[in-house]
Amino acid sequence: MVKIIEEKPNIVRLRRFLDWVIRMVGYAAILILTSMLFKNTLQVDSSHFGFWAFSAAILIYLLNKTIKPLLFWLTIPITGLTLGLFYPFINLFILKIVSLLLQPHFEIIGIWFAIWASILISILNVLLDTFLLKITKGAGR
């Protein structure tokens, strides 16, 4: 017999909110750190205490939840042929979209920074998906 444990809606909302906050801080930290390392290739307006990095993080999150599944589905053959090495290029495409949307305050110049940042974002996504899933599933029992 399978025992189903139902969680309270408030706990589910809190876990989703914490997941969102952790991802936003992670994305913003990656963008700020890589902009410090690669000053000539990424320009983030830091005049408002990281507002533009946080705005870029929110856009990355929204695009990851909306456009990324479609892009992943469309590029499954290429991703399979390259044994998953094409996957960061989906994040590269998302970073370029964010750069176009926040043009004067968040700019990516050149391709090498964008590839590096997309690899870091891919690693962060895998780590967060793995660890946050374990934490949220294990904490309720």
Q: Domain boundaries in the chain?
A: 9-139
Q: Are 3 and 132 in contact (CB under 8 A)?
A: no
Check residues 105 and 100 and name the one with the higher pLDDT.
Answer: 100
Residues with Cβ < 8 Å from 47, sequence gap 6 or more? none
Question: Average pLDDT, whole number, for the chain?
Answer: 80
Tens of pLDDT, residue by residue over 108-136, are 887 777 788 788 888 888 888 887 766 65
Least confident of 14-23, 92-101, 111-120: 111-120
Q: Determine the Cα–Cα distance for residues 134 and 15; give it in Å rounded to an integer.
A: 12
pLDDT at 67: 93
141 pLDDT band, cuts 50/70/90, is: very low
CB count within 10 Å of CB 19 equals 16
Q: Determine the Cα–Cα distance for residues 70 and 120; give it in Å rounded to an integer.
A: 21
Give the pairing type, strands 106-108 and 42-44: antiparallel
Given a cut of 80, whether residue 71 has pLDDT beyond it is: yes
